[in-house]
Amino acid sequence: MRLELKHWLVLHALHHHPTVYAAADSLSISQSALSHRLAEAERRLDIALFERDGRRLKITPAGESLTQTALQILPLLERAEADARDWAKDTQHLVRIGIASYNHFAWLGEFIHHLNQVLPTVQLELVASANQHPSTSLLESQVDLVLAPGEFDHRGLCVTPLFQDELVLLTHPHHQLATKAYISPADLEFESYFSYSRDSLPGFEYERFIRPSGVIPRLTKLVEMPDAIIELINANLGTSILSRWANAAAINAGKVIAIPLGNKGLSLQWSCLTRSNETRHSTVKQVEQRLQAWFTQHKNLDMSPRRYAQPGTGEQISYAFAHTHFGLLAMAATDKGVCFVQFGASKAALIEQLKAEFPQANIQPSSQNTSPVLAAWTRALSDYLNQQGPKPDLPLDMRGTAFQTQVWKYLLSIKDNNRVSYADVANSIGKPSAHRAVANACGKNSIAILVPCHLVLRSDGSAGGYRWGSEKKQALLEANL
């Protein structure tokens, strides 16, 4: 090697400081000493690293190439020295970790408990800079490991897949799009849309969903903090496409509604980023391995299962029809129980609705011969609605967010068809301010009558809305069903 450490330090200092004086001061040497080292480096390499531009130094392409290398190797050398001292002292090993784009740390406490058991000498330190600039923070050794969504292609990074998430449109519970089974790009044309990034990032919604359609939202506002976007959506000021996993708390609390993008959903890959020159058995790589194993084991923890993105994937669903005093009804079931009870104007319309809610399922009609159990269930519900039998107690396969399921389970506990208000339900599940979200959960219920959302009224005693029409709700209440 022709250059010594002191020459690399000069390049590093000149990159981080605006003047020669400041760079020299950071190295605790004089300006003339810095100029001497720089000239010595140029003589040894027989190339120009900087050119004079008046009183300023202008870096050459060769100088820029060496500087970028200095930015990578010097922090690594510092870290290697620190690791060596720690190993010699048998002290704790510090790994600096960050999460890109989002401030979602609901998983972190449990992972730290796990890490304390398997790697007790390792401590994690959270680094905020990785949120906005994960690649730069890694390459400049400000952080050692970053959880990041999207696609990455950088020669200085090692990318290890962790889990599949889903990009979803987030809306206010009362937004006009909130009741849709999924959205298309055309649905965004007249919307106020919040974007958290100035750039079109690979692997995200603009490249994969919005731009191919040629549709541009009416008004796009830049808000570079996803947490702030959630609050703006909760105030019904617009919509945004964000990670389901990173916003699970707001979705499950009913603050916002998550709607899939397209009938197949839009996946989002989360990965663990480290520097490509990390040694195979370094502490950072050990944490990366533990992180990957932990997310594999806890793949459904606070995350969107595949059934959210592609409801019914790989499942067999049978359906049957019944004519009742309240109109034509369809019931459908999986091997776990009833997943669909809805009223409709025609059999064709009900089949289309069933396919829209379970687009990836194998949906087949039933009969007394092929599905005797479902036929019996349908007949029992029809008898109940026609007031010719008791309400059937059937197994249910409810599909929804944690908050929606909590609301529906409470409705199942209502005795003797007693009426309750949306506020009563919110108070009973421990979320007194979520009465609007309760109303939305009732509107999302796909299992009519068996999950008795028609029993939930407004605080003034009026019937309120109903997924299958206010008149049908009023008729059910008058029949005391």
Residues 129, 158: Cα–Cα separation, whole Å: 19
Q: Is 164 helix (H, G, I), strand (E, B) or coil?
A: strand
Contact 256, 234 (CB under 8 A): yes
Residues 124, 131: Cα–Cα separation, whole Å: 16
> Per-residue DSSP letters for 112-147?
HHHHHHH-TTEEEEE-GGGGT-HHHHHHTTS-SEEE
Query: What Rg value do the Cα atoms of the chain yield, rounded?
Result: 30
Contact 179, 187 (CB under 8 A): no
Number of helices (H) and strands (E) in the chain: give both, helices first.
Answer: 17, 17
Residues 163, 298: Cα–Cα separation, whole Å: 10
Bridge partners, 457 (sequence order): 421
CB atoms within 10 A of CB 125: 11
Bridge partners, 98 (sequence order): 146
453 is catalytic: yes
Name the one residue in this structure whose structure tokens are 């390459």.
Answer: 139
Active-site residue (options: 158, 272, 339, 453): 453
Residues 334, 322: Cα–Cα separation, whole Å: 18
Angle between helices 435-444 and 402-412 (to 10 degrees): 80
Residues labelled as active-site residues:
453
